[in-house]
Amino acid sequence: MQIQALAKFLNAQVDPTLSEEITGVGTLEEAKASELTFLSNPKYISKLKDAQAAAVLVNPAFTGKSAVPLMVVEDPYLAFAKAIELFHAKPTPPAGIHPTAVLGQEVVLGENVSIGAYVVIGDRVQIGNDVSIHPHCMIYDQAVIGAGSLLHSHAVVRESVQLGQRVILQNGAVIGSDGYGFAPLKDGSFYKILQAGTVVIGDDVEVQAHAAIDRATIGTTKVGQGTKIDNLVQVGHGSTIGKHSLLCALTGIAGSTQIGNHVILAGQAGTTGHLQVGDRVVAAARTGISQSVPPGKQIGGFPEVEHKLWLRMMTQLKNLPQIVQRLRKVEQKLGIR
């Protein structure tokens, strides 16, 4: 794509005398002489001196030096994401039903649906227009798959679960698995509690590989519009996740937890059950959330504290042995045992 046309498509400013042909995209370290790259984090500015790309996307505040031409745009990261789509077409499976797929009774199929090899679909399932289901997926009875959704191989949608429009399930995601409910008995064993609820997923949600969203015991586990759930995340039964939130890898949400809108839980963060995490809360990696968190807070540590305090605590942790030694010397001088 000619560089001026690319700049126009990305709503970016570039030297009008340039006429290079852009053939692809790449990272700062790996982009070739005919490829576009980007810089969104200032700490990587030093890499520009060795860059070989045809152009680099930067924001208007950029004042550094670059070995390659600049393409100035409001959000370089977003612009680069759109550029990737220009040079790497999404694979689209052909419409139709593979002869090895098994469909139950009273299945309702929309237009332009693609169902791959060895897919099993239960009774009274509803599948919207332009849905793609890759091989070896399993959809239980009475599930609803919204229009434009994409299910990758080995994704499982359990009975009566509802997926909104344009939902993406990556490989091995399980939606509507049984909640972790067991009643203790006097003999020390456990009685399994029937998980009679369901899961409702909003529009434009993505659930990545091997994540699990449990069905409610009674009622509904909910995931709001636009939320993105990373690999190996666990959402417990009866929980509610708000709109446009991010649950990063290995996050664990205990049952009946309410997560607000625009919340970010970084990798390996976790919550105990029956608490509320307010809108726009950001929890650092490995934060253990043991009580409800008001909206807008930034937290870290276990148990959770204000993020700035947690950073100070971690900075001083390495000094703890010396602090203890000094304290003991003071106690000895004062005759304190």
First vs last C-alpha separation in the chain: 77
Rounded distance between C-alpha atoms, residue 139 and residue 187, angstroms = 37
Distances (CA, A) of 119 to 19, 72, 103, 176, 256: 49, 46, 8, 18, 32
So which residues are the catalytic ones? 237
Sheet bearing 276-277, strands edge to edge? 108-109, 126-127, 144-145, 162-163, 198-201, 220-223, 240-241, 258-259, 276-277
Q: Which residues contact 176 (CB under 8 A, 6 or more apart)?
A: 140, 143, 156, 157, 158, 159, 160, 161, 198, 199, 213, 214, 215
Rounded distance between C-alpha atoms, residue 199 and residue 209, angstroms = 18
Sign of the C-alpha dihedral computed for residues 300, 306, 312 and 316 taken in this order: negative
Can you read off the two tokens belonging to residue 139? Answer: 């959809």
Rounded distance between C-alpha atoms, residue 27 and residue 153, angstroms = 29
3-state class (DSSP) for residue 279: coil
Can you read off the two tokens belonging to residue 163? Answer: 């997926």
Query: Would you say 224 and 241 are in contact if contact means Cβ atoms under 8 Å apart?
Result: yes
Quickly count: other Cβ atoms within 10 Å of residue 199's Cβ: 27
Rounded distance between C-alpha atoms, residue 337 and residue 335, angstroms = 6
CA dihedral in degrees (51, 53, 58, 62; nearest 10)? 40
